[in-house]
């Protein structure tokens, strides 16, 4: 009888825990940014590397002057391509943290195969963030490929899937402010910051421009949808 009673108590405890666990898992805050300007399909150009340094000092590195980590320190940094990995790696290093890489390499892939791989890895990332309770209430940083942050044409090409962070992170449910449907090719200088409620739904969305002032005059801060200076385009590819 004692053994049976203990089993019943254990069963009741498990049921109670299940009912008290949150129905949805979600970080409290997700910070999204694109990688820096690039030299070729593998490497960042000098401007992209300088942007990484500027972001370390001003926004994302440990002890940054205008740190974005106002809620909590970063729990993880994520990347998907060689560009995003090269870009975010030095920043994560200041926190003595590795980058969690869902890396897709462009070499030896057709354009369609590359897109499919990027789709899949973006989906896997989102699934992990919303299904793993480890991320509940934490802040994470996504250094991502901009077509898979938001791109109306890409979403149209896969009508039966969610393939962008805009879809997968439920940003398309927000009405005010409306989330841009496409991240412009010309912009490397913005953050998207999303705050989630206890139900795993976005409740606040911010677009924050990277401003460095006179400290980094060679790092462009062009407005949303506007081109970078021609001097940058002469040494870096779009």
Distance separating alpha carbons of residues 112 and 110, to the nearest angstrom: 5
- Concatenated DSSP letters of 204-221: EEEEEE---GGG-TTS--
The per-residue pLDDT for range 84-131, each reduced to its tens digit, is 999 999 999 999 999 999 988 776 678 899 999 999 999 999 999 999
Distance set, CA 93 to CA 62, 70, 79, 223, 231 (Å): 9, 19, 14, 29, 30
The per-residue pLDDT for range 193-238, each reduced to its tens digit, is 999 998 899 999 999 999 999 999 999 999 999 999 988 888 899 8
pLDDT confidence of 44, banded at 50, 70, 90? Answer: very high
The per-residue pLDDT for range 21-33, each reduced to its tens digit, is 445 578 999 999 9
Distance separating alpha carbons of residues 189 and 210, to the nearest angstrom: 5
Average pLDDT, the chain: 90
What does the pLDDT read at residue 107?
66
Q: What is the pTM of this model?
A: 0.89
The per-residue pLDDT for range 1-15, each reduced to its tens digit, is 444 554 444 443 433
- The CATH label, of 3.30.70, 3.40.50, 2.40.10, 2.60.60, for the domain at 23-233 is 3.40.50
Identify which of 199, 200, 202 has the alpha carbon closest to the alpha carbon of residue 177.
202
Place of tokens 């405890």: 13
Q: Find the angle CA(49)-CA(238)-CA(56) to the nearest 5 degrees.
A: 25
Could you tell me the residue ranges of all domains in the chain? 23-233
- Indicate if the pLDDT at residue 19 is higher than 50: no
Distance separating alpha carbons of residues 197 and 30, to the nearest angstrom: 12
State the average pLDDT over residues 144-151: 98
């Amino acid at each position: 009888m004692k053994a049976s009673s203990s089993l019943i108590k254990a069963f009741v405890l498990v049921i109670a825990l299940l009912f008290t666990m949150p129905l949805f898992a979600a970080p409290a805050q997700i910070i999204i940014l694109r990688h820096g300007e690039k030299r070729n399909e593998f490497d960042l150009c000098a401007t992209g590397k300088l942007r990484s340094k500027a972001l370390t000092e001003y926004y994302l590195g440990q002890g940054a002057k205008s740190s974005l980590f106002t809620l909590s320190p970063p729990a993880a940094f994520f990347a998907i391509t060689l560009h995003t990995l090269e870009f975010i790696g030095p920043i994560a290093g200041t926190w003595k943290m590795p980058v969690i890489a869902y890396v897709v390499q462009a070499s030896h892939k057709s354009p369609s195969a590359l897109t499919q791989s990027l789709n899949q890895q973006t989906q896997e990332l989102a699934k992990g963030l919303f299904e793993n309770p480890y991320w509940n209430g934490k802040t994470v940083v996504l250094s991502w490929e901009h077509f898979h942050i938001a791109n109306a044409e890409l979403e149209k090409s896969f009508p039966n899937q969610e393939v962008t962070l805009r879809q997968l992170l439920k940003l398309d449910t927000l009405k005010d402010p409306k989330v841009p449907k496409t991240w412009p090719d010309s912009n490397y200088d913005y953050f998207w910051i999303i705050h989630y409620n206890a139900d795993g739904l976005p409740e606040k969305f911010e677009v924050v421009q990277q401003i460095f002032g006179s400290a980094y005059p060679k790092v462009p801060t062009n407005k949303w949808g506007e081109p970078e200076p021609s001097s940058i385009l002469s040494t870096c590819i779009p």
